[in-house]
């Protein structure tokens, strides 16, 4: 509720009837009112300035917060964009890897099918080889039986020939023959001389000889030139006899 200032009523006739007429203007009251007004105005101005300053500070603070938030959002947005780029690249890589894996799987499936076909073919071949092996074993058993039968008749004749020739020949390993000479030393009839010869190729090799025969390399060279193994055995026996028969020197 506003208070209105009431102006005092002036009796002009009474004032003029006075010896010294004067009007009380109430200057002091005016001055006090004016000072109070100016003071109130100054306070209002100061409050307004303070309010405006506070508002400016608040707005600056809010603006700074908004700017920081915008900057943070921009950073997060950029990071999200980078992550999105990385994810897209990763998806592309995974797509390529999946494609490669599918191609590899298809290739492996084809190889597996080929291997299965080969295995089936190999199984068939194995069955054929088994049947062939069984047939060969039966034939070999027949041959062994036949050889055993012949050996029972030949062994006495073979021993008789070895006794007469004073020489025995037998197989010791694959493509190797052991040749033993008997009665090469008249002073010691039970003494033997022997050598092992490799006949696996056209070039013959003497693996061992007992006792050592110095002329053996020459005899082997002559054998490789002539390819006459019987002459080689005969010449080797003669060389051993010459080496061991001290009575002939």
Residue by residue, pLDDT tens for the chain (249 residues) are 455 556 666 677 777 787 777 766 677 877 888 889 898 989 998 989 999 988 888 888 888 889 998 989 999 889 888 888 988 998 889 888 888 888 889 998 999 999 898 888 888 889 888 888 888 888 878 877 776 666 565 566 566 666 666 788 888 888 899 999 888 888 887 888 899 999 989 899 999 998 999 999 999 999 999 999 889 989 998 898 888 876 555
- Give the E-state strand segments of the chain in sequence order: 167-173, 176-182, 192-198, 205-210
Residues 144 and 178 in one domain: no
Residues 140 and 175 in one domain: no
- Residue 228 domain-assigned? yes
Residues 170 and 154 in one domain: no
The domain tally of the chain equals: 2
Chosen domain end from 158, 190, 225: 158
Half-sphere exposure of 141 (CA within 13 A, CB side): 5
- Residue 154 domain-assigned? yes
Containing structural domain, residue 207: 166-244
- Residue 249 domain-assigned? no
Residues 148 and 183 in one domain: no
Cβ neighbours of 191 (radius 10 Å): 14
CA–CA distance, 51 with 235 (Å, rounded to integer): 139
Residues 178 and 134 in one domain: no
Q: Of 28, 41, 33, which Cα lies nearest the Cα of 5?
A: 33
Cβ contacts of 22 within 8 Å, gap of 6 or more = 15
- Residue 200 domain-assigned? yes
The residue whose two tokens read 């010294």 is 20
- Residue 218 domain-assigned? yes
- Residue 150 domain-assigned? yes
Cβ contacts of 192 within 8 Å, gap of 6 or more = 180, 181, 182, 184
Please name every residue paired with 168 in a beta bridge, in sequence order, or none if there are none. Answer: 180
CA–CA distance, 206 with 216 (Å, rounded to integer): 8
Residues 211 and 142 in one domain: no
- Residue 146 domain-assigned? yes
């Amino acid at each position: 509720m506003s208070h209105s200032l009431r102006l005092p009523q002036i009796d002009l006739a009474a004032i003029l009837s006075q010896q010294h007429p004067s009007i009380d203007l109430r200057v002091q009251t005016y001055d006090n009112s004016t000072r109070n007004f100016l003071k109130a105005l100054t306070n209002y101005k100061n409050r307004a300035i303070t309010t405006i300053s506070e508002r400016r500070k608040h707005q600056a603070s809010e603006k700074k917060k908004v700017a920081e938030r915008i900057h943070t959002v921009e950073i997060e947005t950029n990071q999200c964009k980078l992550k999105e780029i990385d994810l897209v690249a990763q998806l592309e890589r995974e797509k390529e890897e999946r494609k490669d894996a599918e191609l590899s799987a298809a290739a492996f499936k084809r190889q597996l099918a080929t291997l299965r076909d080969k295995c089936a073919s190999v199984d068939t071949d194995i069955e054929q080889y088994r049947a062939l092996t069984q047939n060969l074993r039966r034939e070999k058993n027949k041959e062994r039986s036949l050889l055993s039968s012949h050996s029972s008749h030949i062994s006495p004749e073979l021993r008789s020939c070895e006794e007469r020739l004073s020489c025995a020949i037998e197989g010791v390993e694959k493509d190797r023959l052991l040749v033993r000479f008997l009665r090469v030393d008249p002073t010691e009839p039970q003494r033997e001389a022997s050598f092992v010869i490799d006949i696996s190729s056209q070039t013959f090799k003497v693996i061992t000889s007992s006792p050592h025969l110095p002329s053996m390399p020459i005899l082997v060279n002559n054998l490789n030139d002539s390819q006459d193994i019987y002459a080689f055995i005969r010449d080797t026996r003669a060389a051993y006899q010459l080496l061991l028969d001290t009575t002939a020197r």
